[in-house]
Amino acid sequence: MTTLAAELADLPSPGGGWAADDFHLFGRMVSSLYHVEFHGRARRLTDAWDDAAGAAADPGATAAAAAAAATVSGELVGLLDDANYVEVGPAELHRAMASESALPLRIEVEVDDYDALLVYRRGTRTETVPTATWRGLRTRLRTVTVDERVVVHTRVKPASSFAERGIDPAERNVVPGHMGLKQFRDVPRADLEMLLPSARVRMRPVDSVIVGVPAVASGIAVLVTKLLPTLGLMFVLVGAWLGLRDEQPRLDQGALVVLFGGLATLGAFLVRQWTKLKNRRLTYLKMLSESLYFRTVADGPGVLHALLDAAEQQETVEVLLAYRFLAAAGGPITTPELDAEVQRWLREAYHAEVDFQVDDALAKLRALGLLTGDESRLSVRPLPEALVRLDRRWDDVFGRRARTGTGAGGPA
């Protein structure tokens, strides 16, 4: 934000009417006012989180847990909106689950295990990544969509819900009633499902081929070279036991060696194949764990503080952009004209398409008492007058907050 404020301050002044230092002061005062407001939101959010976590840990506090968790979810949605996150709806999440993963994994997730499931993302880019073919002999390039920041909030259903469905929560990798909140970075859109707590690794069809074909080949080799004598002896013994043979076989030392040697060989073969299958699954679990570890930004209350900082920054940036370009317009302009001008400058300065929330920015300017005119004739107060108004607001902020409980965006 400091860099943006400096760039805006260095733009040509409207009519040569102000100094860059005055705009820097304007930015610091706006940022300070929002910092006070978000400090109060941080306290309310962390208190609600602690209440929800405490109620969730008490099996007898089902109603209290639900109420506290609903408070957290409501506050969290508002905070994510302020931080310019976009919700990932059920349809988009199901598309991600059905898409080919950027990782060589197959993930299964049961979304019905959650009472609350919120997934939000912000910032999108495309990347070209190499992907191995199913034979593993070649690679092909794929273009994937990557979300720069993703926030996942979950609340698992109570134990009674799993009992009614006859499901063991441990098999789903979840704890009944648990509430989770995590923030991730650089997540491929097709891998959103791996961020959920109940994500489980499953073998792909190609894995069955990779493991099964060598196992069958090895089994045939073991059968031909080592198990035929044992199987012949076993058929003789079973036939005698069923009365199909009149002559009773003799179990001398050599026969016992053949019998137990063959059984030991068969057991070793089965254990070896099971170990290979288990090791492959452990490899995939390690791959999933490493991917989540390097993508995790924050967990629990840490996510709340990160979102509060991001929302505070976004609020300030929107005010600075809207005020600067309204002041530089040289006269009243319309809302679409302001939106187009700000987006044009962002595109030229940062080489990116940014959806400027012009309505939110104008609402903030009006709440701060800096906006004049209506939607068809928008303008702002001159910078010296704006500084005086912000200075008065800052002088009165604690007294006003004590009397009315309003923040920086309250009435002047």
Contacts of 341 (CB under 8 A, 6+ apart): 325, 329, 333
293 and 314 belong to one structural domain: yes
Residue pLDDT, tens place only, 154-186: 988 888 888 888 888 888 888 888 888 999 999
Which residues fall within 8 angstroms of residue 178, CB to CB, at 6 or more apart? 56, 154, 155, 156, 197
In this predicted model, which residue has the larger pLDDT, 68 or 41? Answer: 41
**Residue 323: inside a domain, yes or no?**
yes
Instruction: Choose among 198, 173, 167: nearest CA to 97.
Output: 198
Lookup: tokens for 166: 């006859």
Domain membership of residue 263 (yes or no) is no
Asked whether residue 250 is domain-assigned, the answer is no
| Number of independent structural domains in the chain | 2
Confidence of residue 62 (pLDDT cuts 50, 70, 90): low
Within-domain flag for 251: no
Least confident of 36-40, 220-224, 269-273, 382-386: 220-224
- What are residue 333's DSSP bridge partners? 378
Do 13 and 31 fall into the same domain?
yes
Residues 102 and 69 in one domain: no
Residues in the chain: 412
- Residue 224: C-alpha distances to residues 56, 218, 221, 232 (Å): 60, 10, 5, 12
DSSP label of 258: H
Same-domain pairing of 67 and 158? no
CB 359 within 8 A of CB 339: no
Q: Which residues contact 90 (CB under 8 A, 6 or more apart)?
A: 111
Same domain, 155 and 61: no
Residues 6+ positions from 169 with CB-CB distance below 8 Å: 113, 156, 159, 162, 175, 176
305 with 362, same domain: the answer is: yes
Q: What is the mean pLDDT of residues 341-346?
A: 89
Give yes or no: residues 39 and 99 share one domain: no
Highest mean pLDDT among 2-11, 93-102, 266-275, 364-373: 364-373
What backbone phi and psi angles, to 5 degrees, belong to 209? -70, -45
Q: Is the pTM of this model over 0.95?
A: no
The band of 120, judged by pLDDT with boundaries at 50, 70 and 90, is very high
Is residue 362 scored above 60 in pLDDT? Answer: yes
- Evaluate whether residue 343 is within a structural domain: yes
Residue 156 lies in a domain: yes
Query: 170 with 79: CB under 8 angstroms?
Result: no
Q: Which of 159, 180, 202 is the last residue of a domain?
A: 202
Clarify whether residues 133 and 207 are in a common domain.
no
255 pLDDT higher than 70:
no
Residues 34 and 175 in one domain: no
Would you say 134 and 150 are in contact if contact means Cβ atoms under 8 Å apart? no
> Do 124 and 185 share a domain, yes or no?
yes
In DSSP terms, 226 is beta-bridged to none
Q: Which one of 181, 202, 223 terminates a domain?
A: 202
User: Looking at the domain assignment, is residue 77 inside a domain?
Assistant: yes
Full DSSP string of 130-144: EEE-TTSS-EEEEEE
- Which of 202, 221, 248 corresponds to the end of one domain? 202
Around Cβ 31, how many Cβ atoms within 10 Å? Answer: 20
* pLDDT at residue 404 is higher than 60: no
Residues spanned by the domain of 53 = 1-85+203-233+274-412
Sign of the torsion angle spanned by Cα atoms 61, 67, 71, 76: positive
pLDDT, position 108:
81
What is the 3 state secondary structure string of 29-49?
Answer: HHHHHHHHHHHHHHHHHHHHH
Mean residue pLDDT of the chain comes to 78
Q: Are 134 and 206 in contact (CB under 8 A)?
A: yes
What's the rounded Cα separation, in Å, for the pair 345 and 284?
Answer: 46
Instruction: Say if residue 45 is in the same domain as residue 117.
Output: no
* 153 within domain boundaries: yes
Residue 250 has pLDDT above 90, yes or no: no
pLDDT in tens, 79-94: 898 888 999 988 888 8
Whole-number pLDDT of residue 412: 38
**What would the pLDDT profile of 286-327 be if each residue is shown by its tens digit?**
888 888 889 999 998 889 888 989 899 999 999 999 999 998
Q: Are residues 122 and 156 in the same domain?
A: yes
263 compared with 235, residue with greater pLDDT: 263
